[in-house]
A and B are shown apart, each in its own frame.
Chain A
């Protein structure tokens, strides 16, 4: 599904990504771990199109998307969430979901100002779809509250639920469990599994290795801009390079 080759990026003399090669097979869940500052979030920025890599290619679903922007990539089914959730604060939860749907006639001027019933008919469909998605997240009781009023964990649910509603081909999850209480973690985890079963490939950055281990058997460890080890969790953490990378950093959690 996703294939990175030779991705490099930096500022002047500072190297942030150093010839990263990564393969995410279709339908899989893959974990990306490593100490803080390893370059994981920057890799996500390159993958989602926020930042242009200095070198290397990103191939998504067989297509080279290296030159495409954020919007183009999202339209091809490559979605992401953020480490600190980026909900639309002044919009209600319901509106947060609604604004994500594509093909809305109400977003086209001619349907707003020319007479016709297409708008009203579609509005019902949209409402149903959104309510279902909000229900699945367990946020129905907050549907009309401004999204800024949600707790951190609820915002993560919102981001995940909204992305799920769009049935992406690939979803990049940036620390989905960060700052979330244990009960919420298992809910998020279930949602991720369900999403994967429905056909979405997932690449997840996480520090919470125990939670991550329940989702996947494939981990890539990054340190200082490159991938230093890949494979099953047990094997990877035996690797002396990995141990060295984590020594002195708070990166390892065991729930």
Chain B
């Protein structure tokens, strides 16, 4: 397997983790999280900061997950009573504030320049170490998704989607259930960030713009929101295309890197518009 393919698959794997997490939050539970990059950012910076300070990967990842949970829990309790469109705006705002923190708290995050030299312990173990672990993480994520969906917990979530007021009259509060889903999803997104920091070896605030959030959303809708495999299919399709088409430059001379980037993203935008108009159920196509 060439190094190029491994690199593409690694990127795809990292985004797939986030797409599965979003599938849990939106596809299954209906939460419109437009701020997911915030948790990706938290995970990446946690590993970056702790890794460069000499802490081991297990500790760094644990901290990444804990911080994400600690941030998602109060966020959930505060905001998950809000209507979906308001939740979208609030979560979007939150992710921008997190990015502001990353830019401004130089003592912690080294500011706009970012943190370099993040250790890559899995790469030291084996060239395929990171990819293998990532694949394993994705399988675990899907299994978590499956377990939740098929459980009594999942049954409550489905009841909430059908008629949350009716559920309240039975004495169960939707907020606690939604918040738990939010926390689990955000922890997975943080894990993706942790992988990314280790993968690239470098983090900086501009890696964590809302563009990432929206690309994950596009991947989910493309694959098929709500279906078990939809997230993976969508992530593979979208990020496979984006990462893979980076190298088209080698075939088309004379086009600048940034122009090609714009072209690819414009194509994604156009494709997504067409998708929402004509096949909103995505590739896997679960009809609701």
Contacts and interface: CB of A to CB of B under 8 A. Distances in A.
The short answer to whether A and B are in direct contact, CB under 8 Å, is: yes
Interface of A: 48, 50, 69-71, 74-75, 79-80, 82, 86-91, 95, 98-100, 102, 104, 106-109, 112-113, 162, 166
Given A89-B163, A109-B180, 19 more contacts: A48-B169, A69-B168, A70-B165, A70-B169, A74-B168, A74-B170, A82-B166, A86-B163, A86-B166, A88-B166, A90-B161, A91-B155, A91-B159, A95-B159, A106-B151, A106-B152, A109-B184, A166-B170, A166-B171
Interface of B: 144, 147-148, 151-153, 155-156, 158-159, 161-163, 165-173, 177, 180, 184
A90 B151 contact: no
A75 B171 contact: yes
Contacts of B184: 109
Given A90-B162, A112-B147, A100 B153 contact: no
Contacts of A50: 165
A104 B169 CA distance: 17
Which 3 residue pairs of A and B lie closest in terms of their CB atoms, listed nearest first?
Answer: A106-B152, A74-B171, A86-B166
Contacts of B155: 91, 95, 98-99
Given A112-B151, A112-B153, A90 B158 contact: yes
A190 B151 CA distance: 34
A169 B162 CA distance: 26
Nearest to B183: A109
Given A88-B162, A91-B158, A113-B147, A99 B180 contact: no
B165 A99 contact: no
12 contacts: A82-B166, A86-B165, A87-B166, A88-B162, A88-B166, A88-B167, A89-B162, A99-B152, A99-B155, A99-B170, A102-B171, A106-B152
B63 to A, nearest CB: 20
Contacts of A113: 144, 147
A88 B173 contact: no
